[in-house]
A and B are shown apart, each in its own frame.
Chain A
Amino acid sequence: MKYLSQILDIALRELGILWRNRIYGFCMIVFPLVLVVFFTTMLDEGTPQDLPIGVVDQDNSATSRGLIRNLDAMQSSRVVYRFANITEARNAMQEGKVYAYLYIPEGTSSKLMAGRQPKISYYYTMTCMTAGSMAMKDMKTIGSLGSAAVGQATLSAKGATPGQIKAALQPITVDAHMIANPQGSYNYSLTTVFVPGILMLFMALLSAYALGMEMKFDTGKEWLARADGNIVVAILGKYIVHALVFLLVIFLYQWYIFDVLHFPRLGGVWSIVRLSLLQVAGGLGFGIFAFGLMPSLRMSMSISSLWSVLSISMCGSAFPVAGMDAPLQAMAWLFPLRHYWMIYQATVLNGFPVIDVWFHLVALVAFTLLPWFVLRKVKNAMLNYVYIP
């Protein structure tokens, strides 16, 4: 009971600190909510639509115009420029006006009629990979449709049925099942890692900040006195408030994406709650540990921020960890966000049992317990260190 009342006492004190120092309000609530709005509105299209594309039509025939019309009608592409030659088109690409262009040389339609296999080319820039690969996909479809049109005309002239034509043009088809993200939406895959990633950045930064500020304004002694010098009680009381505020924000974010925007998920509510608890505990644990390693406000915050920014790349949601060099694959284990994301995609997105990613769960629990190793150092810092600006 004594411990409980001490924890409550320190928690109330912490609540007062969070209320008075506006930085906490901004970093715990305002900035995360702004980020949720930022990413969900930014990626609202899901996949890029109507990318500006140019054409170089030197054939000027009904066939070439048909190809261009088809390209314009594709979902990701919009034909905005018609160039006289390749040089003009390349210049426009270097100026950032188009992401791709289709080149139809002179004589395409007459060669097609004569069965002399004309060649059209498409050029796309891969300096923006999402745009480049979307434009490429559309133009590839146009190219194979062009081929198919010829085959279809020949076959139907010979009297084949639609079913026969389909089988003859494409004997084997692929039936794709995009599990848990049937639209291939970037909103579903990017928002769900960047928002939690930046939230974990704030968790680590603010938990180091909270301890550092106690030292900076020399209130650490008073804080410890309230716990009768028991550092475990002091830490628990202090961070229970942080954890609750972060949990509230996380649940708000999850309610917004899953219930308002209807992001797909195959996992149940319990999988979300479990993940959120682990996320907050691991994130705070990492920040306290960073402060314990280097009990100085600026160094612990610098370490936390650099590590957390790095974790957004190291979690392997964009460029997979399996594609990195071996030492980096091992290092990926040291980033809490990596474990968060692995558990997220397995249990929440795909609805698989958590036992299949148990090692990531254990890792997050380990991050939660990391402060244990530095408790004495933190206490010592509070009692004996003097803040030097």
Chain B
Amino acid sequence: MSIFRNIREHFTDVLYIFKQELLQVIKDEGVLMFLVVVPLGYPLLYSWIYNNETLHETPVVVVDQSHSALSRQFINDCDASPDVDVKYYAEDLDEARSLVSRQLVRGIYLIPTDFATRVSRGEQSVVSVYCDMSLMLAYKAVYQTAMVEAGRLGAGINIKKAGNYTKREDAISAQPLAVDDVAMFNPSGGYGSCVLPAVLMLILQQALALGIGMAAGTARERHRNGQLIPADDPHYRGAYRIVWGKALCYGMIGAVAAAYLSMAVPAMFSFPQMATGWTLLAMLIPYTVASIFFGMTVSCLVRYRENVMLLMVFVSVPLLFLTGVSWPQSSIPGAWQGVSWLFPSTFGVRAFIRVNSMGASVSQILPEIRILWIQAAVYLGMACLVYRHQFRLARKYAND
């Protein structure tokens, strides 16, 4: 047998396995759901949930015991701010509390009786703010609005007292050191623009792992002796061609899903998109490849098809945390940082956020790209190992 014939046979087998795997994906509705419906539909749903980005007009109740021009000005200023809506007035704190209890408002502004008097006397005056802490975003809106408006009102009082001649003098006496506040890469501080890029990349890995795992589970249930690899099919005669054949099939699906998730979805919902094509390609190729071999390795651990769901679905939330998008990477304890190195999503998400939302170049995400390639290689090796093991098992059962 010549070497060329050998190679030709190898390729025929790979392509045959590729075809078989693809047929199985299309025929099995469970697999189809995770490989096609989830990557298509889920990102749209998530984008819709976070589409409004920021919270405006958080309802608050005011207890105005001062009844002065100054307290009314403070209330008006707060009401006019974008983040707070003065929805109710209450007589006392108990009444205000019952409004919080009924979920009608998220905070209480209490203006004490001596509010204006103290200011007139040249003493420090206090506004009490009671925040419902169940919603962090609402708490920030209620508290920060009060801070900003109290500061502004105070500056106005100071300016009046200063007796300056020019507007420039007023500005300088109010703020001798000017400060410029620049939020970068997501200037409106939108929740969706922050979280969604991470969710998109995570969906890619999870959908591939779930789809591959379910397909493997189905294969086991179809084949004799509950084996992953059919012993009676002559084309399945080597572990490597099986790995390559399957990888080709999922690579094709993964490539389409990755392109859709990284380019189409953010464009549809106008989320930040600063990446150039080549940079995106440089990180998406290793990420998709690593995710596929990761999925193939996991799929061998699974006896029944349903178990992959029980295993992979619940880790989605911890995985999102390990990427450092909702909890800063510098605050993740070392042990969990170590665990996070096992998953391609950790580095895929980090690289994607930098490239997509921060406009980083390839050289700036080089460490992540390197790790992704290393993961791809390691998981490829592991996939080959576990498939060789499965292959031997199948042979053994077939011969028995």
* A positions within 8 Å CB-CB of B: 23, 26-27, 31, 35, 38-39, 41-45, 48-52, 90-91, 93-96, 99, 108, 112, 115-133, 136, 140, 143-144, 146-147, 150-151, 163-164, 166-168, 170-181, 184, 186, 188-189, 194, 197-198, 201-202, 205-206, 209, 212, 297-299, 301-302, 305-306, 308-310, 312-314, 316-320, 322-325, 328, 342, 345-346, 349-350, 352-353, 356-357, 389
Of the A-B pairs whose beta carbons lie under 8 Å apart in the complex, a sample of 24, sorted by A's number, is A38-B318, A39-B321, A51-B330, A117-B176, A118-B178, A120-B178, A121-B182, A124-B183, A125-B183, A130-B328, A168-B122, A172-B124, A175-B129, A177-B131, A178-B131, A184-B136, A206-B310, A298-B29, A319-B50, A320-B137, A328-B49, A350-B101, A352-B100, A352-B101
Residues of B within 8 A of A301 (CB): 306, 309
A186 to B171 alpha-carbon distance, docked (Å): 38
Which A-B residue pairs are the 6 nearest by beta carbons? A143-B179, A345-B134, A181-B133, A131-B328, A126-B186, A121-B180
Chain A: minimal CB distance from B228 (Å)? 14
Q: Are A51 and B178 in contact (CB under 8 A)?
A: no
Q: Which chain B residue lies CB-closest to A95?
A: B364
Contacts A309-B317, A318-B191 known; 18 new A-B pairs at CB < 8 A:
A39-B318, A41-B335, A43-B327, A96-B350, A96-B354, A99-B328, A118-B177, A126-B186, A127-B353, A140-B179, A171-B153, A172-B127, A176-B129, A181-B133, A323-B54, A345-B134, A350-B132, A357-B103
Residues of A within 8 A of B324 (CB): 128
Chain B: minimal CB distance from A310 (Å)? 7
Chain B: minimal CB distance from A145 (Å)? 9
Task: Mark out the residues of chain B between 219 and 267 whose CB falls within 8 Å of any chain A CB in the assembled complex.
Answer: 221-222
Q: Are A115 and B176 in contact (CB under 8 A)?
A: yes
Residues of A within 8 A of B336 (CB): 38, 41-42
A349 to B134 alpha-carbon distance, docked (Å): 8
Residues of B within 8 A of A118 (CB): 177-178
Q: Which chain A residue lies CB-closest to B357?
A: A127
Residues of B within 8 A of A42 (CB): 321, 327, 332-333, 336
Q: Are A298 and B184 in contact (CB under 8 A)?
A: no
Chain B: minimal CB distance from A218 (Å)? 14
Residues of A within 8 A of B332 (CB): 42
Q: Are A167 and B124 in contact (CB under 8 A)?
A: yes
Query: Contacts A94-B359, A167-B122; is A120 near B131 (CB within 8 Å)?
Result: no
Residues of A within 8 A of B361 (CB): 94
A285 to B186 alpha-carbon distance, docked (Å): 41
A127 to B389 alpha-carbon distance, docked (Å): 43
Q: Which chain B residue lies CB-closest to A353?
A: B101
A357 to B133 alpha-carbon distance, docked (Å): 17
A194 to B315 alpha-carbon distance, docked (Å): 11
* Interface mask (B46-69 → A, CB under 8 Å = 1, otherwise 0): 101111101110000000000000
A325 to B138 alpha-carbon distance, docked (Å): 17
Task: Mark out the residues of chain B between 94 and 143 whose CB falls within 8 Å of any chain A CB in the assembled complex.
Answer: 100-103, 119, 122-140, 143
Q: Are A389 and B177 in contact (CB under 8 A)?
A: no
Binds A, one of B9-17, B30-38, B290-298, B380-388: B30-38
Interface centre among A26, A136, A178 (most CB of B within 10 A): A178
Interface centre among B126, B153, B178, B331 (most CB of A within 10 A): B331
Q: Are A119 and B179 in contact (CB under 8 A)?
A: yes
Q: Are B331 and A45 in contact (CB under 8 A)?
A: yes
A125 to B359 alpha-carbon distance, docked (Å): 12
**The residue from B128, B157, B309 contacting A177, defined by CB atoms under 8 A apart:** B128
A89 to B325 alpha-carbon distance, docked (Å): 21
Query: Contacts A174-B127, A174-B147, A299-B30; is A23 near B307 (CB within 8 Å)?
Result: yes
Residues of B within 8 A of A124 (CB): 182-184
| Chain B contact residue count (CB 8 A cutoff) | 109
A314 to B190 alpha-carbon distance, docked (Å): 17
Q: Are A323 and B52 in contact (CB under 8 A)?
A: yes
Q: Are A306 and B42 in contact (CB under 8 A)?
A: yes
**The residue from A50, A174, A206, A310 contacting B150, defined by CB atoms under 8 A apart:** A174
Q: Are B185 and A127 in contact (CB under 8 A)?
A: yes
Q: Are A302 and B52 in contact (CB under 8 A)?
A: no
Q: Which chain A residue lies CB-closest to B131?
A: A178
Say whether B81 faces chain A, with CB atoms less than 8 Å apart.
Answer: no
A85 to B361 alpha-carbon distance, docked (Å): 19
A49 to B307 alpha-carbon distance, docked (Å): 39
Residues of B within 8 A of A356 (CB): 101-103
Say whether B146 faces chain A, with CB atoms less than 8 Å apart.
Answer: yes
Interface centre among A26, A143, A320, A324 (most CB of B within 10 A): A320
Residues of B within 8 A of A180 (CB): 133-134
Chain B: minimal CB distance from A292 (Å)? 17
Q: Are B158 and A171 in contact (CB under 8 A)?
A: yes
Q: Are B178 and A314 in contact (CB under 8 A)?
A: no
**The residue from B183, B318, B360 contacting A126, defined by CB atoms under 8 A apart:** B183
A50 to B143 alpha-carbon distance, docked (Å): 23
Q: Are A117 and B330 in contact (CB under 8 A)?
A: no
A136 to B147 alpha-carbon distance, docked (Å): 15
Q: Are A306 and B38 in contact (CB under 8 A)?
A: yes
Residues of B within 8 A of A126 (CB): 183-187, 189-190, 193-194
Q: Are A302 and B33 in contact (CB under 8 A)?
A: yes
**The residue from B46, B177, B326 contacting A146, defined by CB atoms under 8 A apart:** B177
Q: Which chain B residue lies CB-closest to A50?
A: B330
Q: Are A173 and B150 in contact (CB under 8 A)?
A: yes
Q: Are B176 and A151 in contact (CB under 8 A)?
A: yes
Chain A: minimal CB distance from B125 (Å)? 5
A242 to B337 alpha-carbon distance, docked (Å): 34
Query: Contacts A23-B310, A150-B177; is A51 near B328 (CB within 8 Å)?
Result: yes
Q: Are A299 and B181 in contact (CB under 8 A)?
A: no
**The residue from B129, B138, B179, B354 contacting A120, defined by CB atoms under 8 A apart:** B179
A177 to B129 alpha-carbon distance, docked (Å): 6
A345 to B317 alpha-carbon distance, docked (Å): 21
Residues of A within 8 A of B181 (CB): 121-122, 136, 140
